[in-house]
Each structure stands twice: as C-alpha cells, then as structure tokens.
Amino acid sequence: MQQRLSLVTLGVQDLPRSLQFYRDGLGWKPSSASQEEIAFFQLGGVVLSLYSRTSLAEDATVEPVGTGFSGITLAYNTKRKEEVDEVLQLVEQLGERIVKPAQDVFWGGYSGYFADPDGHLWEVAWNPFWAFDDADQVILPS
C-alpha cells in the first residue's frame, strides 16, 4: 500500500450550514463533483468532503451517535506565524468556537484550535521547521 491520504469525509448534521461555513465563510471552492447530498473540496493532494453524519455512519455500518473527543483533528498549516491569528479571527467572526487560542507551543511552533459547525477540531499551526512547495503543499524534512 502506498503512503497516501486521498479523502477525508466529515459527517455533518446540517450540510447547508457546513457548506456555508467552508464555502462562504472560509472561501473554499467546492468541486463540480459536488452533489445535493455531498460536497467536495480539493485541498492540494487531498479531498475534503462533507456528508450527512447519519448517511456516513450507515455507509460504514456503525451508529451515528457519538459525543466528546473523536480522537482525530484536522490541521491547516500556515506559512507565517501571524496567519494563525488571522485564520482564527476569521473563524471567530463567522461565529464558530475557538477551542484553544493561538499560542507558542512546546515543539517550537505556534498554534490554536477551532471547532467547525459540527464540532470537528481544526488546528491552525505555523511550524518553523516545515516548508511549502510551489503548490503550497507542506514539505516534511527528509
């Protein structure tokens, strides 16, 4: 199996509300592959999709209910330390919850967390040890 992540699907309670947050609030452009019941966003080499939490659970043959920390976070890495604060301010202006204000962190970077309309946790981080290529994709040290 190749070392690759192709798609992350977030189970959402209210697709129009989540679509409004990601598309209209964050300014992300949905793919033309999106349909009435699912939205796709091209994020560099990975696709993010928004799909009904109930339908997603049904597809995976698991119960749709769950509370608390799900054991996963998503991350948006920035090129500049100041961009972390800018992104978190935008999210707050959109009426979403800042879970952890941006701060210097133990590993030498700067980060904070927000929750999207369904409570999915996003870390916004600046990592001084990582670079970006011409396509704005993270390049890990070898």
Task: Tell whether the model's pLDDT for residue 122 goes beyond 80.
Answer: yes
pLDDT digits (tens, 9 = 90+) for 34-53: 999 999 999 988 999 999 99
- Please, are residues 19 and 50 in contact by the beta-carbon 8 Å criterion? yes
Q: Quote the pTM value.
A: 0.86
Mean pLDDT, all residues of the chain: 92
Specify whether 12 is located in the same domain as 54.
yes
| Beta carbons within 10 angstroms of residue 83's beta carbon | 17
Name the domain boundary from 66, 84, 108: 66
Specify whether 57 is located in the same domain as 111.
no
Specify whether 20 is located in the same domain as 57.
yes
Specify whether 52 is located in the same domain as 85.
no
Name the domain boundary from 47, 66, 85: 66
How much is the pLDDT for 94?
97
Instruction: State the SS3 of 108-125.
Output: CCEEEEEECCCCCEEEEE
| Beta carbons within 10 angstroms of residue 133's beta carbon | 9
Name the domain boundary from 66, 98, 116: 66
Long-range contacts of 24-32 (CB under 8 A, 24+ apart): 25/90, 25/91, 25/94, 26/90, 26/91, 26/94
